[in-house]
Structures are given as structure tokens and as C-alpha cells.
């Protein structure tokens, strides 16, 4: 894989549409159309942004009135971010998830974490091959990265309250990769988006 250059005096940023009730959207950064027609569960490519404050306005695709989200974000220097549009229509907001540049890939390991972005699901635990890997992850929160041997694994998302498994899945974790598993959707229709984070491929 070619590596991504880290911008001078800036950071790498991508946007994730994780709001299940929101329509496809256009995203304006300081009034410039930056991402177009982003649908629920879509993740953009990373783009460089200089350090500073940015006005982020998100509109239903093809419109530019009554933004569904209007928020100011502060971008630091030398970081990698996933900015997620989260919540349901009465509680939409952007959250910034740091794809920590200090986490480096290794040939003999895979790294993964879990981020809870389901707006009406309670706190969850994560079982990894039936052993608890992470616990009590609340909405808009995430775990630390954990290293494992590459391979295929059984992962179960379970309610922290009583252990009920609400989403079983199989994932393949490749060597030299750093992943985030995003739990998305409403509680009755959960999904997981498996993403390779920018700290996998940033030039060092």
C-alpha cells in the first residue's frame, strides 16, 4: 500500500455518516462543498486540513437550506481523525474520533477497537471468541485498540445490562492493519462497519 502523507501544520480527516434516520448528505467545510451525497454507513476518504477552526454544515443532498448539522470543529496538528455524524433526527451532532497516530501496525499482529454509534442502544460489551474483550461501551464512546493474531474471529455485541447478544458476526483481521468496528443503526437493526484506520497507512 502507498502511504498517506501527513500535511504540514495540519491533520488528516474523514467523515462517517452514522446517523440512521438522516438522509444522504452534502458536507460543506467553511462553505466549500467537500463531500457529496454521503449515505448512511458511508465513510469518505481522508483529506488534509490545516490546523484551525472550521465551520461544518451538513445538508440533505442537493439542498443548501436548513442544515441537519451545523457545528464548529477544531483541528489540531499532526493527528488523524474520523468525524462521525451521529444520533437520530432530534439529537444529531458530530463527534471526533481520533485514529491515534501513535498506534502503529505490525506484520505479525492486527489491532482493532469498537466504537458505539447506535443512538438508542444501551451500553454494550464485546465478546471476542466468547471471551470479554471490552465492556460497558456507551453511545458515542469507544474502546482502546487491542492487538491480536491475524485471522477470522467470532465477535458478539452484547448488552452490558444482562449479557444478551444483540449482534453476532464474523470478522477477518489481516496482519499489518489497524481496524475500527463501528456499531451503527438503531437497536432493532444493528450493523457493524469494519474500517481500516488511517494510522495503518500514514507515512512515518
Give 59-70 pLDDT, tens digit per residue. Answer: 999 999 999 999
Question: Do the two domains 10-98 and 110-200 of this chain adopt the same fold?
Answer: yes
pLDDT computed for residue 1 by the predictor: 64
Q: Mean pLDDT across the stretch 10-27? A: 97
pLDDT computed for residue 2 by the predictor: 83
d(Cα 155, Cα 94) in Å, to the nearest integer?
27
Q: 1.10.357.10, 3.40.50.300, 2.60.40.1120, 2.30.42.10: which CATH number matches 110-200?
A: 2.60.40.1120
Q: Are 68 and 92 in contact (CB under 8 A)?
A: yes
Distance of CA 49 to the CA centre of its chain: 18
Kindly report the number of other CB atoms within 10 A of residue 60's CB atom. Answer: 15
Nearest to 112 by CA among 168, 176, 157: 176
Q: How many helices (H) and strands (E) does the chain have?
A: 0, 17
Q: Are 91 and 119 in contact (CB under 8 A)?
A: yes
User: What's the whole-number average pLDDT of the chain?
Assistant: 96
DSSP classification of residue 4:
B
Kindly report the number of other CB atoms within 10 A of residue 186's CB atom. Answer: 13
Nearest to 169 by CA among 186, 188, 182: 182
Residues of the chain with pLDDT > 70, as a percent, come to 100
pLDDT computed for residue 150 by the predictor: 98
pLDDT digits (tens, 9 = 90+) for 79-108: 999 999 999 999 999 999 999 999 999 999
Q: Mean pLDDT across the stretch 149-170? A: 97
Q: Are 43 and 195 in contact (CB under 8 A)?
A: yes
**Residue 193 bridge partners (DSSP):** 182
d(Cα 139, Cα 123) in Å, to the nearest integer?
7
At 116, the pLDDT band (50, 70, 90 cuts) reads very high
In the chain, what are the domain boundaries? 10-98, 110-200
pLDDT digits (tens, 9 = 90+) for 50-59: 999 999 999 9
| pTM recorded for the entire structure | 0.96
In CATH, the architecture of 10-98 is Sandwich (2.60)
pLDDT digits (tens, 9 = 90+) for 175-194: 999 999 999 999 999 999 99
d(Cα 11, Cα 166) in Å, to the nearest integer?
36
Amino acid at each position: 500500500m502507498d502511504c498517506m502523507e501527513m500535511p504540514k501544520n495540519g491533520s488528516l480527516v474523514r467523515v462517517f455518516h452514522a446517523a440512521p434516520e438522516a438522509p444522504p448528505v452534502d458536507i460543506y467545510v467553511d462553505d466549500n462543498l467537500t463531500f457529496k451525497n454521503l449515505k448512511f454507513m458511508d465513510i469518505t476518504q481522508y483529506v488534509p486540513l490545516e490546523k484551525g477552526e472550521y465551520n461544518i454544515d451538513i445538508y440533505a443532498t442537493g439542498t443548501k437550506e436548513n442544515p441537519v448539522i451545523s457545528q464548529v470543529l477544531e483541528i489540531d496538528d499532526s493527528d488523524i481523525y474520523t468525524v462521525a455524524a451521529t444520533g437520530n433526527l432530534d439529537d444529531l451532532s458530530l463527534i471526533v474520533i481520533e485514529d491515534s497516530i501513535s498506534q502503529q501496525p505490525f506484520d505479525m499482529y492486527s489491532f482493532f477497537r469498537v466504537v458505539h454509534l447506535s443512538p438508542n442502544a444501551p451500553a454494550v460489551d464485546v465478546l471476542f471468541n466468547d471471551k470479554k474483550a471490552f465492556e460497558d461501551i456507551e453511545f458515542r464512546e469507544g474502546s482502546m485498540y487491542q492487538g491480536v493474531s491475524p485471522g477470522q474471529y467470532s465477535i458478539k455485541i452484547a448488552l452490558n445490562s444482562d449479557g444478551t447478544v444483540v449482534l453476532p458476526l464474523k470478522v477477518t483481521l489481516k496482519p499489518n492493519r489497524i481496524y475500527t468496528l463501528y456499531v451503527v443503526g438503531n437497536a432493532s437493526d444493528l450493523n457493524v462497519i469494519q474500517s481500516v484506520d488511517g494510522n495503518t497507512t500514514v507515512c512515518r
